Amino acid sequence: MSEPMHHPSPARLRWLQREKRTLQAVWGLRAALLVGFFLLWELAARLGWIDPFIFSSPCRIWATLLRMGRSGELLLHTGTSVLETVVGFTLGTLAGTLAATLLWWSPFLSRILDPYLVVLNALPKTALGPIFIVWMGAGVGSIIAMTLAISLIVTILDMHQAFRSVEAEKLRLMQTLGATRLQTFLKLVLPSGFGAMINALKVNVGLSWVGVIMGEFLVSRAGLGYLIVYGSQVFQMDLVMTTVLILAAAAALMYQGILQLEKLLKKHIGVTV
């Protein structure tokens, strides 16, 4: 119920004022922290406190960034990694949700597979990298496989948990209304597991990046992971640092994308969790 329109009280105005100042302070200090960090870094490099050949510096990174932009390298490598991540993330989310749905559908199947999921979840998936290279060759296939290996099991477990967290009494309600299992899934389990599903997606997008970078370390000829490995091997730390910053920006943007998707979905299906 919306409150009737009226003039805010003086206490309310003071509170709003204070709230506004706090918000300004938070944003101001955030910006100051970032600018301060880069200034200090630049200063340290110029004054010789650190060796710019090993630690690079913001100016050198900026120059590298411009050079990469002009040569088209920036677009090629960032594009390659982003594409791999998007493909890995989408496949992982779809396959993971599908598998979790099957596990929810059949508690018997879930009971059978439980120990395998536990073992697979505990296994450090990077150990599988060399196996993928042998099976699929040194190409994009291996990178996507690596991404799926890292994100899939967690997605399955998180989604399954989300589906199972529906209140037993609500399931009973659906039963008393004569709902089929499919109806129960579509009209109760999916919408009520929405919040947990979005959280699973947020985790998944981060894990997909881990998978892609790991994969690129091992096999690629393009991509941000490739640039980092290549740069460190030829001791071009400017390139490595620049790439790490690009990576941070790309990952943050993609995470923002998920947040926007969440907003959109919430508005669309009216879920308020």
Partner 1 sequence: MMIQIEQVGLTYQSPGGETEALRDLSFGIGQGEFVCLVGPSGCGKSSLLSILAGLERPTEGRVLLDGVPIEGPSPRVGYMLQKDHLFPWRTVWGNVTLGLELQHENTPERQARLRALLERYGLGEFLRSTPDQLSGGMRQRCALIRTLARDPDLLLLDEPFSALDYQTRLAVSADIHAIIRAEGKTALMVTHDISEAVALSDRIVVMTRRPGRVKSLHTLDSLWGLSPMERRDHPDFRLYFNDLWKELDVHV
Query: Which residues sit at the interface with partner 1, rule CB under 8 A?
Result: 1, 167, 169-170, 172-180, 183, 187-188, 191-192, 194, 269-273
The smaller minimum CB distance to partner 1, of residues 10 and 178, is found at: 178
CB of 176 to partner 1, least distance (A): 4
The smaller minimum CB distance to partner 1, of residues 51 and 167, is found at: 167
Which residues have a Cβ under 8 Å from the Cβ of 102 and sit 6 or more positions away? 109
CB of 172 to partner 1, least distance (A): 7
The smaller minimum CB distance to partner 1, of residues 88 and 193, is found at: 193
Which residues have a Cβ under 8 Å from the Cβ of 251 and sit 6 or more positions away? 205, 206, 209
Q: Residue 24 corresponds to which amino acid?
A: Q
The smaller minimum CB distance to partner 1, of residues 90 and 183, is found at: 183
CB of 261 to partner 1, least distance (A): 17
Which residues have a Cβ under 8 Å from the Cβ of 211 and sit 6 or more positions away? 88, 125, 143, 146, 147, 148, 149, 150, 151
Q: Are the beta carbons of 132 and 142 closer than 8 angstroms?
A: yes
Nearest to 184 by CA among 172, 196, 200: 172
The smaller minimum CB distance to partner 1, of residues 86 and 188, is found at: 188
CB of 190 to partner 1, least distance (A): 10
> b/e string for 193-206 if b means 16 or more Cβ within 10 A?
bbbbbbebbeebbb
Tallying the residues shown for the chain, one arrives at 273
The smaller minimum CB distance to partner 1, of residues 79 and 195, is found at: 195
Q: What is the largest CA-CA distance in the chain?
A: 76
CB of 191 to partner 1, least distance (A): 5
CB of 81 to partner 1, least distance (A): 36
Q: Are the beta carbons of 107 and 160 closer than 8 angstroms?
A: no
